[in-house]
Amino acid sequence: MNKKKVLISIFLLLSTILVAQSNKNTSPLNSCGADNLIQILRKNPVFTANEEKLNAQIRLYNSSMQSARISKASPAKVKRTGKDKITSVSPITGIISIPVVVHIINSNPESVTNQMVIDGIKELNDAFAHLGTYSVDMLGVNTGIQFCLANTAPDGSLTNGIDRVNSYYENIDVDLESGALAALTQWDPKFYANIWLVSSIKGEIPPTVFECGSWQRVGFGGYASAGGGLVVSSLNGPLVAHEMGHYLSLLHTFQGQNCANADCTLDGDLVCDTPPDRSTKSSPCNSPENSCNTDTVSGPFTKDMPDNISNFMDYGSPCPTVFTQGQSDRMHAFLSVFSGGSLLNSDRCNTPCSGAIMAKFNWYSNSHPVVGDIVNFNNTSTGASGYEWYVNGVLTATTQAFSYQVTTTATYVIKLLAFDAARSCVSSYSGNVIADCGVVARFSPDKRIIASASVIYKDPVLFQNTSYGATNYQWFVSDNTGANFSNAGATKDLLYNFLLPGIYKIKLTASKGACVSNSGTYTLTVLDPKQDGSISIFEVRCYTNDSIRVVFGINNNGYDTIHAGAVVGFYDKFPGLPNPQKLNNSFVLPTDILGKCSASFTHIIGVSKPKQDSLTLVFDENNLLDELSETNNTAFIQNFQFKIIATPIDTSVYTNSTLSLLVQKKSNDPISSVMWSPITGLSCTTCVNPILSVTDTVLMKAIAKNSFNCTDSATAYIKVFPIDIGLDSSGIDCFKNDSLLVNVKVCLKNGYTKLKNKVEIEYFDNDITLGAANKLGSVFLDPSTVFTNGCVVAPTIIKMTQTPNVSIFINRPLVPFEMQTANNSLHKKYIPFKLIAQPADYDAFRGEGFPVNIINQGDTYKNLLWTPSEALSCNNCLSPVVTTNVNREYKVTGSNQYFCTDSTFVRVKTYYRSHLALPNVFSPNRDGVNDYFYVIAGKDVVTVNQFQIFNRWGERVFNSKNTKPNEYLGGWDGFYKGRIADNGTYVYYIIITLLNGTTEEVKGNITLFR
Ligand SMILES: [Zn+2]
């Protein structure tokens, strides 16, 4: 069979593993009994202790080997001091050959040819060497372990390592007959790996599970134990490699099935480079399952890896081709410590002599002799010229043919030596002839675990009678405690109904005449087959406001079918609360629910009150069913009602802003549709998250439905900050003398752009909040007022204030409400429009111009008029120059832009400046012009009593007395001490006498220059 065909057959078998009993050809890795065997073996504390010790030694060996590998040490050597103690080890290099003996246990042993065995070992060697069809997967390594069919027999003679036994144990019951198989034939396990090849292995690989009304029973393909040998039902390469792996101490890659990886040397399969694995399921080779995510917790993996389904030690893979380096190391370590390394050191692969001799015989003609029989041994040896027959080690014959009478119930060990004439090469072949009275009681149950009881569910077990040589049978079955055997019938096979759950023991006595044989005792677990309904709630949702839609599951945890018609009742309260009300309607199970199976249902029930929010389900409420447990028949749930919440629940924002609204489910029931109101300003009225343009305080309401037309509503209270009306600034002008024009700037804040209602601006002559005040006027701003950039100027004409104050208030009643009122009043000083002459009276010299001045207080004048306008430099300015020879009175009248007027008077009295006309400069250069400084005077001046001139040094440069005015010769000619005086300023002092007899002094300066 080529590899492809093997793979196909494995794959096909995977899909048939649910068949209750494995058939003869069941082979591959999904059906390995190693774990089962270990479970049995571990019941022996000695085995457990040895297993622990072995694993510890393997770990020690492995760590030593890894250090040695790092230091590149060589060669292989295991040193030991004392029994089973390793002090130091070094890695094995090269190829190890393990001698193998294949025991063909068959009713027609020759049907398995030597070549088939040789081919099987070749396949096994390819698997261990990662060669041929097994070489494709990169994860695999060459383990360096090979197997030879033994060439040296236990007695040192030549052999071909193939042993044939004609036995009814070709169909072996794994639970009852494992020991019998080894008793048939076994070579010393210290030096040989024993492979028993049988036709079929009856049994169930645990755990056998019950699913949806039927048992899932998996048959055996093989089983093995570390160092104990391996039993296989075929020579299929992966099967033998798998069991050989167990034999060399490997565990399943899914060992423990728990993903534990705290320490990869102690968890799972105890091998670090196989990823943690908990799955026995099959998955495609190119799409491996990843059943554990603990890969990096310890060991070499830096990331989570898929399960190594191509590993020989996994189950269910269509492509088993891999032993990892870690598995190889563990097998090498095992070989180093098992039985003191005896398999490693075994020389039984060697050929003891060269010669074409092979001893062989059979007693097929009487394979199961009874005491007294003469057994004829058929010598089928080849190449020999001489023979020696031994019975229990005693040389009994040297003939080619041999017969022997078995005289007692015993196992006779028959050995044939065959040799050439020179006896230079001896071959040997041995067989155990088991003599008894001719009956062997055997049986095999068709089920290894059942659930059965009278009335409820009977699952009869067929105990197939496989006895040899009997004619009469007696079955014995214990009670359900495993004691008190009673006679269960004398039929060949026993079809037995177990009427009570419990642990039963079954045995068979087979006989023929006086020959009686007792079978082994089989222990059968019979589970209670009762049904066991439990109820669980998957989903509860409101349904059309007056109902509830419940999705619930009924799980049958038992074995018997829960039949259609079982009732689930519904109540509005939790169990134990007073006065529960039964709800309409109960649910009646429409279909059967098989054992260990579940079903889910959807049911509509009425509520006892709107928004009822707690619910109890009671399975089998009338307690009509007989269940394993009655405590799991109720399920409770609350807080399932369709509820929504709208957000923000309550918030304050500026008007004319935008805000995101959101409606969400508050229970598990999703929102199917939503409707918002009022719709003004909403970006969307049916979405869960509309944007609201906020203009005013509003209570937004969302009404939502679930997909079953249940409604709920929620509100979002959106408040706008109240308006803030502020007086920003103000101008005050006098208006028509008795009034004021006030231009107040009013601004809206907090996002407002207009008024909702009219607002009064009031004017007082004092701060009315501090005491009495007179109202000067008011004006209303109405909602139609247009605010630009939030502000407007409101011109108002009010009465003239009689105080210097104008106090302006807006929105004194606080309608609309304002939180910020500090800016609702404004206090201004009023300065009246006034024209003030300052001074009002002037004394002026005739003909000499002089400025007069008017001060403008309050508003700036717009028009100004002096009347009369004569003798003025201007008649509409504040400060004209007046030049007049007569006394005058001017009225100055002014007005502001708003027709406020004021007036005042300016009076001018004129005087002659003097009766003297004295120059202030003269040039005494004799040019006939202005050469003298003298007193020029009017007619009123009679005499110049004194006329004195001083230079700056105080020297009198001129002096005259009692001269006449207007006489230049009486003046100073500019000479001093006979010469022209210096240029410069001189001071004069004059005393004159007037007509009326009074005198007058005059002082002044004269500048002399030439
Ligand atoms: Zn296995």
Chain segment 399-416, per-residue pLDDT in tens: 999 999 999 999 999 999
C-alpha of residue 499 to centroid of ligand 1, in Å: 35
C-alpha of residue 258 to centroid of ligand 1, in Å: 17
Chain segment 190-245, per-residue pLDDT in tens: 999 999 999 999 998 877 889 999 998 888 888 888 888 999 999 999 999 999 99
C-alpha of residue 292 to centroid of ligand 1, in Å: 20
pLDDT of 18 reads: 22
pLDDT of 894 reads: 94
Dihedral, CA atoms, 280, 282, 286, 291, nearest 10 degrees?
-30
Chain segment 963-992, per-residue pLDDT in tens: 888 777 778 988 888 888 888 899 999 999
Q: 457: helix, coil or strand?
A: strand
C-alpha of residue 100 to centroid of ligand 1, in Å: 19
pLDDT of 67 reads: 63
Average pLDDT, the chain: 88
C-alpha of residue 63 to centroid of ligand 1, in Å: 25
The mean per-residue pLDDT over the stretch 33-39 comes to 65
C-alpha of residue 144 to centroid of ligand 1, in Å: 21
C-alpha of residue 223 to centroid of ligand 1, in Å: 7
Identity (one letter) of the amino acid at 722? P
Assess contact for 494 and 486: CB atoms under 8 A: no
Q: How confident is the model at residue 875 (pLDDT cuts 50, 70, 90)?
A: very high
pLDDT of 85 reads: 37
Look at residue 41 and tell me whether its pLDDT is greater than 80: no
pLDDT of 66 reads: 64
Look at residue 148 and tell me whether its pLDDT is greater than 90: yes
The span from the CA of 481 to the CA of 29, in Å, is 36
Chain segment 723-762, per-residue pLDDT in tens: 999 998 888 999 999 999 999 999 999 889 999 899 999 9
Look at residue 42 and tell me whether its pLDDT is greater than 50: yes
The span from the CA of 801 to the CA of 830, in Å, is 8
The mean per-residue pLDDT over the stretch 654-669 comes to 93
Q: 379: helix, coil or strand?
A: strand
C-alpha of residue 366 to centroid of ligand 1, in Å: 36
The span from the CA of 270 to the CA of 274, in Å, is 9
pLDDT of 980 reads: 86
Question: Could you identify the residue written with the tokens 């670090």?
Answer: 272
Assess contact for 509 and 519: CB atoms under 8 A: yes
C-alpha of residue 1 to centroid of ligand 1, in Å: 23
Better pLDDT: 95 or 455 = 95
C-alpha of residue 695 to centroid of ligand 1, in Å: 78
C-alpha of residue 323 to centroid of ligand 1, in Å: 14
C-alpha of residue 226 to centroid of ligand 1, in Å: 11
DSSP string, 788-846: BTTEEEEEEEEEPPSSSEEEEEE-TT-SS--S--GGGEEEEE----EEEESSSEEEEET
Phi, psi of 142 (to 5 degrees): -80, 115
C-alpha of residue 215 to centroid of ligand 1, in Å: 21
Better pLDDT: 295 or 317 = 295
C-alpha of residue 428 to centroid of ligand 1, in Å: 34
C-alpha of residue 241 to centroid of ligand 1, in Å: 10
Q: How confident is the model at residue 248 (pLDDT cuts 50, 70, 90)?
A: very high
C-alpha of residue 369 to centroid of ligand 1, in Å: 36
C-alpha of residue 459 to centroid of ligand 1, in Å: 30
Residues 6+ away with beta carbon under 8 Å from 174:
33, 36, 201, 202, 203, 220, 223
Q: How confident is the model at residue 848 (pLDDT cuts 50, 70, 90)?
A: confident
156-160, 161-165, 283-287: range with lowest mean pLDDT: 283-287
C-alpha of residue 462 to centroid of ligand 1, in Å: 27
pLDDT of 15 reads: 23
C-alpha of residue 316 to centroid of ligand 1, in Å: 11
C-alpha of residue 14 to centroid of ligand 1, in Å: 15
C-alpha of residue 246 to centroid of ligand 1, in Å: 6
C-alpha of residue 336 to centroid of ligand 1, in Å: 22
Q: Which residues pair with 387 in a beta bridge?
A: 418
C-alpha of residue 389 to centroid of ligand 1, in Å: 40
C-alpha of residue 799 to centroid of ligand 1, in Å: 114
C-alpha of residue 270 to centroid of ligand 1, in Å: 15
